[in-house]
Amino acid sequence: MPTKVAINGAAGRMGQRLVALGCQDESLELVACFEYTGHPKFGKDAGEVAGVGELGLHLIEKTDEPYDAIIDFSVPEGAHAAVERAVAAKAALVMATTGLEDEHKAKIREAANVIPVVWAPSMSTTVNLTMKLCEIAGEALKDIPGGADVEILERHHRFKEDSPSGTALRFGELIADKMGITRHIHGREGRPGARPHDEIAYHAIRTGDNPGEHTIIFGLLGETIELTVRASNRDCYASGALQAAKFAAGKKPGLYNMNDVLGL
Ligand SMILES: NC(=O)C1=CN([C@@H]2O[C@H](COP(=O)(O)OP(=O)(O)OC[C@H]3O[C@@H](n4cnc5c(N)ncnc54)[C@H](O)[C@@H]3O)[C@@H](O)[C@H]2O)C=CC1
Ligand SMILES: O=C(O)C1=N[C@H](C(=O)O)C[C@H](O)C1
């Protein structure tokens, strides 16, 4: 039986790719495409909005159709609505929206007591693999003589609303955990003085239509290692999220991440 999937934020950049890839995947069935009622394309056919032709699925606010999983790529308020929809439908939730406030995060954790939730700032295979590599680097370099300076650069499209990216923040958390770093700073200006080793600095670049890239620098005295992971388009995130929906549907309640989905 195909996994019945609903998409929240279906007219967005990511929502459109989920519709486009989801409707070609025989192991799942798209049953609902949710959108914000104020969106100019609200009520239109989601397939036409996504550029794949009419699917008979309209951009709607609610449905009586049952679904096994809901995937959310929207905005913090939309994510909040997706959690409520998932709990009400007793469906699995794939939470991909970034830039969430503490109250939204608490709501997601609470939902994981009653439904399966896959929550990750990046659904991309190569990003999640790079996170593993950064954990290895952090562990190996934590006590290196002379110290290792960690800087995280991220580049995204001009339309992105949150900074730094959720992925950059997750890279920082994972490395900080391994290296025992507690100080996180965002950019530099003025005369901050010599750089201490026990900080991670984030730099967010916003240009054009960049679908997302991250570079994690471990700078030592005399040598440097940089790990770069780069999306060429959004399908790496969309296909990861569809895989996560299939993984989570029918699982027992709890919080899962992309390592669980990808077996990393
Ligand atoms: N975890 C991951 O792999 C990835 C996460 N993202 C994140 O996903 C989010 C969306 O990104 P984009 O698609 O580029 O943004 P977007 O702005 O193109 O799309 C967001 C969509 O959500 C809709 N929306 C707003 N309020 C809503 C509500 N209450 N209910 C349902 N839909 C609502 C908007 O109308 C819009 O169509 C961002 O937070 C982004 O950082 C993006 C790419 C990958
Ligand atoms: O907004 C985006 O585009 C992306 N957002 C996610 C993030 O904030 O980490 C993931 C990806 O980098 C694309």
Tell me the CATH number at 172: 3.30.360.10
Q: Mark whether 158 and 220 lie in a shared domain.
A: yes
Q: What is the pLDDT of residue 145?
A: 96
**Is 156 in the active site?**
yes
Distance 40 CA to ligand 1 centre (A): 15
- CA distances 197 to 94, 147, 161, 200, 202, Å, are 36, 6, 30, 8, 14
Domain match, 243 and 254 both: yes
Condensed to tens digits (0 to 9), the pLDDT of residues 76-95 reads: 999 999 999 999 999 999 99
pLDDT in the model for residue 219: 98
Give the distance (Å) from ligand 1 centre to CA of residue 73.
4
Instruction: Report in angstroms the alpha-carbon separations of 200 from 17, 69, 132, 153.
Output: 33, 36, 18, 11
pLDDT at residue 94, as a whole number: 98
DSSP string over 140-172: HHTT-TT--EEEEEEEE-TT--SSS-HHHHHHH
Residue 233 is predicted with a pLDDT of 98
| Same domain (yes/no): 245, 115 | yes
pLDDT given for residue 205 in this prediction = 98
Average pLDDT of span 131-156: 98
Please report the pLDDT score of residue 220 as a whole number: 98
Same domain, 193 and 258: no
Residues 42 and 79 in one domain: yes
Mean pLDDT in residue range 256-264: 97
ipTM: 0.99
Q: pLDDT for 17-27, tens place per residue?
A: 999 999 999 99
40 with 118, same domain: the answer is yes
SS3 264: coil
Residues 8 and 114 both lie in one domain: yes
Q: Residue 59 — pLDDT band, cuts 50, 70, 90? A: very high
Q: Quick: pLDDT tens for 179-219.
A: 999 999 999 999 999 999 899 999 999 999 999 999 999 99
Q: What is the pLDDT of residue 238?
A: 98
For residue 23, the model assigns a pLDDT of 97
Q: What is the CATH number of the domain that holds 29?
A: 3.40.50.720
Q: Quote the pLDDT of residue 249.
A: 97
pLDDT of 165 = 98
Q: Do 184 and 118 share a domain, yes or no? A: no
- Pick the atom of ligand 2 nearest to 213's CA: 12
Question: Are residues 14 and 107 part of one domain?
Answer: yes
Same domain, 79 and 106: yes
Question: Mutate which of 39, 74, 95, 232 to test ligand 1's pocket (most atoms within 8 Å of Cβ)?
Answer: 74
Closest listed residue to residue 245, CA positions, set 8, 56, 37: 8
* Percentage above 70 pLDDT, the chain: 100
Taking the CA of residue 123 as reference, the ligand 2 atom at the shortest distance is 10
Sequence ranges of the binding site? 9-14, 61-62, 96-98, 120-123, 157, 166-167
- Residues 69 and 93 sit within 8 Å (Cβ to Cβ): yes
Residue 14: domain span: 3-123+234-262
In this prediction, residue 99 carries a pLDDT of 98
Within this chain, do residues 7 and 118 fall inside the same structural domain, yes or no? yes
pLDDT of residue 176: 98
**Catalytic-role residue among 58, 80, 156, 214:** 156
Residue 175: pLDDT band (50, 70, 90) is very high
Mean pLDDT computed over every residue of the chain:
98
Binding-site positions for NADP(+): 62
pLDDT for position 186 = 98
Q: Taking each helix axis from N to C terminus, what angle separates 235-248 and 125-141, rounded to the nearest 10 degrees?
A: 90
Structural domains counted in the chain: 2
- The pTM (predicted TM-score) of the whole model is 0.98
Q: Are residues 114 and 167 in the same domain?
A: no
Q: What is the pLDDT of residue 19?
A: 98
Give the ligand with the smallest distance to the CA of 257: 1
Q: Spell 173-199 as b/e; 16+ CB within 10 A means b.
A: ebbbebbebeebeeeeeeeeeeeeeeb
Ligand 2 pocket residues where CB is under 6 Å: 98, 121-122, 156, 160, 165-167, 212
Q: Amino acid identity of 136?
A: I
